[in-house]
Amino acid sequence: MKSELIRIGNSRGIRIPKPLIEQCGFGDTVEVRVEQDRLIISPEKRPRQGWSETFRNAGSAADDEILLGRVSANVFDREEWEW
């Protein structure tokens, strides 16, 4: 698909047809970047997006090992640290 660049003040822009906006899952804002001389427009990613699903898929923490019990105290821990 070819699209004409339109003037917007001193800048240029393109109109993205509604079916493409829906297909790409664009909301009110998008992320824009350049990779290898190509303009990449992608849906905005919110901080921590997808973390809930990742934690659910990780399973129970019941079998996780506690690693801190194996670490011995260093000089700072023995001589300088105060509670």
Q: Quick check: helix, strand or coil at residue 80?
A: helix
Q: For each of the chain's 83 residues, which pLDDT tens digit applies? A: 888 999 999 999 999 999 999 999 999 999 999 999 999 999 988 788 788 889 889 888 777 777 666 777 888 888 888 87
Listed by start position, the domains of the chain span 1-45
Label residue 79 left, alpha or beta by phi (over 0 means left) and psi (-120 to 50 means alpha): alpha
In this structure, what DSSP letter does residue 32 have?
E
* Distance of alpha carbon 69 from alpha carbon 83, whole angstroms: 19
The CATH code of domain 1-45 reads 2.10.260.10
pTM, whole model, 2 decimals? Answer: 0.52
**What is the predicted pLDDT for the residue at 9?**
94
**What is the predicted pLDDT for the residue at 78?**
82
